[in-house]
């Protein structure tokens, strides 16, 4: 798997738990914009849409 750090993995887990990127960002203590950017980078690296 091409997940570079634990923050990316945690973002995916929190999205699944909370049902949204906003809920995941709140749980992680980051802005929704930061979570979105992290997800977009991960999607580009993996070549798939995750959310």
What is the per-residue pLDDT across 5-50, written as a single tens digit (0 to 9) for each? 899 999 999 999 999 999 999 999 999 999 999 999 989 988 999 8
Question: Tokens 């992290």 correspond to what residue?
Answer: 38
Question: Can you give the pLDDT at residue 50?
Answer: 87
Rg (CA), the chain: 10
| Predicted local confidence at residue 5, as pLDDT | 85
Q: Are 2 and 45 in contact (CB under 8 A)?
A: yes
């Amino acid at each position: 798997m091409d997940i570079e750090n634990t923050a990316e993995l945690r973002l995916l887990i929190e999205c699944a738990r909370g049902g949204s990127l906003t809920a995941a960002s709140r749980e992680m203590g980051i802005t929704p914009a930061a979570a979105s950017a992290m997800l977009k980078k991960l999607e580009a690296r993996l070549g798939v849409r995750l959310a």
